[in-house]
Amino acid sequence: MKIKRSYSQFKSIATSKSLQIIQGDIRSDYYHLLAFDGQITYEANVLKDGGADQIDFEANILPGITVRVTENPDWDLMTASFPSATTELQTYKKNGITVQTILITYTTSSKNFISSIQKTRV
């Protein structure tokens, strides 16, 4: 289930629940933010308008984000990179449009030896 929130609500929820924030679909006019809490996906947009939300986000949240989903027109390629994490977000696109996003959770911490994978459509 996706729940859209204002930036301040999103920040409050993500902070209080210690959720990892993912910067998705990087664009020139706003930041798109995602945070996963089990089956719930919280999302928010922060306009790049020089306002209070952008200033707060860039000063307090952006430096800590390690997972960024970048736009890639190839349907079959994963479009996120992860520094030794046990979860990955894969976004699949067709003709430049996101058609499916999947959160993958590995049961081990090593991607070289994985016993099982759980995929969750988000």
Sheet of strand 117-121: strand arrangement: 87-94, 97-106, 117-121
Domain extent listing, the chain: 2-121
For the stretch 44-79, pLDDT in tens is: 999 999 999 999 999 999 998 887 776 543 434 444
For the stretch 3-45, pLDDT in tens is: 999 999 999 999 999 998 988 767 778 899 999 888 888 999 9
Read off the pTM.
0.57
Count of other CB atoms within 10 angstroms of residue 47: 13
